Amino acid sequence: MVRSKNFFMKFYLALIIAFLYIPIAVLVVLSFNDSRSRVVWGGFTLEWYKTLFHNSDVVAALQNTLTIGFGSALIATVIGVLAAVGIDAMKKRSYSLTLGVGNIPMLNADIVTGIALMLWFSRFTNLGYVSILLAHVTFNIPYVILSVLPKLQQMDMSVYEAARDLGASSVKAFTRVILPNIFPAVVSGFFMAVTMSMDDFVVTYFTKGAGINTLSTMIYGELKRGIKPEMYALSTLIFAVVLIVLLLVNYMPRIRQKQIQRKLQNRKAAS
Amino acid sequence: MNKRSLLAGPYIVWIIGFTVLPLLMIIFYALGDGRGEMTMSNILAIFEPVHLKALLLALWLAILCTGICLVLAYPLALILRKLNIGKQGMMAIIVILPMWVNFILRIMAWQLLLSRNGLINGALGAIGLPGQDLANSSMAIVIGMVYDYLPFMILPVYNAVTDLKDDVIEAARDLGAPPKAVLTRIMIPLTKPGIISGITMVFVPSLTAFAIPDILGGGKVMLIGNIIEQEFSTSMNWHLGSGLSIALMIFVLISMIFTSNEEEGKERRAW
């Protein structure tokens, strides 16, 4: 009875994971398909992986996607961390007002955010790389704050005050006392921001203007004419890289711990 | 205002510049008729039959999508808690990882999976069931939206469920509560903030989606998001597009008050 219940729970978990990963499996299979058609299997090939980086449009779109992703996440992290520290010190009323207005880009419909920014930017300047970047920073900041603020609230701020009383400048007190405490939350906020930026289509679509593409808008444009098979290869590569990085980040600390233990044992044995 | 809260300065400037003013801009466009006169007709155009029909269909599909996501995510959260896996954030990684594969490509993969001679029909045929014509229908759109937004339901619900204290549940059991009562009278009420946060994170994007209906609806199903997008991309009527966006935003706000009036003053958390 207990065993069958356990089996059922694991089965359900596996089903959900399968649901999330089946489309990705489809794309991986297509990336090795020796046919330009999406529905015909023409045999195994590595062709698309070879031609991938010779296609200057694809490379440009990839560059835009990556630099906007990491750039907007970096700017959002700096602004967001400072904001979280500031908001944490606010009185209740300005606290909820600032946070409430700040969360608008996250809670508002993407299509409204995109259109509003497009109308606003096109008043002053041509749409392009910079307008996409600014738009991405805007919707990324709330994710950073959301990640950092709870950590700050758990932290005992009297430590910071003590550092200040003992003569540390506010910058030093921030970098030496606050930052180490909230660092994991800062990192996860940063990666959340990169992910949201890479995943975005709607806001980019409205704020990009003509003549520039990220991977999302490029693929959307190709949908009706037929997607270049290189795209499947590229997305498989990105997926593989992220998977490896995540596994390393997760298992590295454990491996390092084992190495340190072994070193200590060796030292003990030597003495 | 103490000194530390000044750190939120850049952030406040940013929200004014890139959230508040763009929203005022969209209102400005919505109230204009292009000839310098003020008008409410762009906003009230939401009540025209063709727009109202698209809004109501979008609402129905969004409710379906949100309901399915909740029904899938809650048992999953309970199972993860029971099996005691994912404490180190493994589940968050599993759920977020697919976002690194391009959004448009993942939805396109569903188009292949759902098509007449796609994998799903193949699997149905293999077990002797009649094929379903799933592609280019409202059903396909719901499947695509559930697929894309499920992580936004899983993460907050999972966080809320793992935060439940074992003591509370044990106490309820010791006092003679049957399993059903433990679920409906203890667990669900205590995890309500997570549930509401998940509902908002899924309902808003699914109500306002336009890329997923565009790809999976095959141009046959018009939702309010598609109509707004076309006002900007093909009809080039920015005033009407802005008016419909504002109407949509008001509609979203009303439905959010409807779902969250009970958690006044509580912190919203997403992950």
CATH code of residue B94: 1.10.3720.10
Q: Give a yes or no: residue B271 inside a domain.
A: no
Residue where the block lists tokens 């995890």? B191
Residues of chain A neighbouring B86 (CB-CB closer than 8 A) = none
Which amino acid is located at A256 in the chain?
A: R
Q: Which of residues 10-69 of B touch A (CB under 8 A)?
A: 10-12, 14-15, 18-23, 25-26, 29
Mean pLDDT for all residues in chain A? 86
The pLDDT tens digits for B143-197 are 999 999 999 999 889 888 888 888 888 888 888 888 888 888 888 888 888 898 8
Q: How many domains does chain B fold into?
A: 1
B249/A12 touch (CB, cutoff 8 Å), yes or no:
no
Beta carbons of B166 and B174 less than 8 angstroms apart: no
Domain annotation covers residue B1: no
From chain A, the residues in CB contact with B252 under 8 A are 108-109
Which comes out higher in pLDDT, residue B82 or B71?
A: B71
Q: Which of B160, B191, B153 is nearest to B62 (CA)?
A: B153
Residue B145 domain boundaries: 49-224+242-263
Model pLDDT for residues A137-157, shown as the tens digit of each residue: 999 999 999 889 888 888 888
**Closest chain A residue to the Cα of B110, Cα to Cα:** A23
- The CA distance from B167 to the nearest CA of chain A, in Å, is 22
| Residue B235 falls inside a structural domain | no
Q: What is the pLDDT of residues A179-216, one digit of tens each?
A: 888 888 899 899 989 999 998 999 999 998 888 889 88
Contacts of A230 (CB under 8 A, 6+ apart): A48, A51, A52, A55, A58
Domain contains B139? yes
Select from B124, B104, B100 the least CA-distant residue to B114.
Answer: B124
Count of CB pairs separated by less than 8 Å, A with B: 232
Interface contact flag, A87 B15, Cβ < 8 Å? no
- B19 to each of A114, A120, A121, B60, B239, how far by Cα in Å? 11, 10, 12, 29, 19
Nearest Cα residue in chain B from A39:
B112
pLDDT > 70? residue A260:
yes
In terms of pLDDT, which residue wins out, B254 or B145?
Answer: B145
Tally the residues of chain B.
Answer: 271
Chain A residue with minimum CA distance to B111: A23
Is the pLDDT at A58 greater than 60, yes or no? yes
Which residue in B5, B6, B82, B207 has the most chain A C-beta atoms within 10 A of its own C-beta, making it the best mutation to test that interface? B5
Residue A166 clears pLDDT 60, i.e. is over it: yes
Mean pLDDT of chain B: 83
User: Smallest CA–CA separation between A35 and chain B, in Å?
Assistant: 15
Q: Residue B200 falls within a domain, yes or no? A: yes
Nearest to B229 among A104, A108, A111 (CB): A111
Query: Given pLDDT bands bounded at 50, 70 and 90, which one contains residue A2?
Result: low
**B2 domain-assigned:** no
Q: Indicate which of A5, A6, A17, A26 best probes the interface with B, i.e. most B CBs within 10 Å of its own CB.
A: A26
SS3 B32: strand
Contact of A195 with chain B, judged by CB distance below 8 Å, is answered with: yes
Contact B4 A85 (CB under 8 A): yes
Which secondary-structure segment (H or E) carries B112? Answer: helix B103-114
pLDDT tens for B225-251 read 999 998 888 888 888 989 999 999 888
Chain B residue whose CA is closest to A19: B147
- pLDDT confidence of residue B2: 65
Residue B65's pLDDT band (boundaries 50, 70, 90)?
very high
| Stronger pLDDT, B29 or A253, i.e. the higher one | B29
Whether A216 and chain B come into contact, CB under 8 Å, resolves to yes
Which of B80, B100, B242 lies nearest to residue A238, judging by beta carbons? B100
Give the mean pLDDT of B45-51. Answer: 86
Domain boundaries, chain A: 54-232
Instruction: Judge whether B35 lies within some domain.
Output: no
Nearest-angstrom CA–CA distance, A150 and A228? 44
CATH of A54-232, one of 2.60.40.3500, 1.10.10.60, 1.20.1050.10, 1.10.3720.10: 1.10.3720.10
Residue B264 pLDDT = 43
Render pLDDT for B4-39 as a digit per residue (tens, 0 to 9): 778 888 999 999 989 899 999 999 888 887 777 788
Asked if residue B174 belongs to a domain, the reply is yes
Residue among A196, A19, A13 at smallest CA distance from B147: A19
Q: What number is the average pLDDT over the span B71-79?
A: 91
Contact A219 B2 (CB under 8 A): no
Predicted pLDDT of residue A1: 56
Q: Would the CB atoms of B104 and A216 count as touching at under 8 Å?
A: yes
Nearest to B154, CA basis, from B212, B97, B73: B73
Measured CA to CA, the distance from residue A174 to residue A160 in angstroms comes to 8
| pLDDT score at B87 | 59
* B88: chain A residues, CB-CB within 8 Å: 250
Residues 6 or more apart whose CB falls under 8 angstroms from that of A185 comprise A147, A148, A150, A151
SS3 B38: strand
Q: How confident is the model at residue B133 (pLDDT cuts 50, 70, 90)?
A: confident
The alpha carbon of residue B218 is apart from the nearest alpha carbon of chain A, in Å, by 10
**Residues A23-56 pLDDT 10s:** 999 889 888 888 777 777 777 888 888 888 888 8
A27 touches chain B (CB under 8 A): yes
* Other residues' Cβ atoms within 10 Å of the Cβ of residue B90: 13
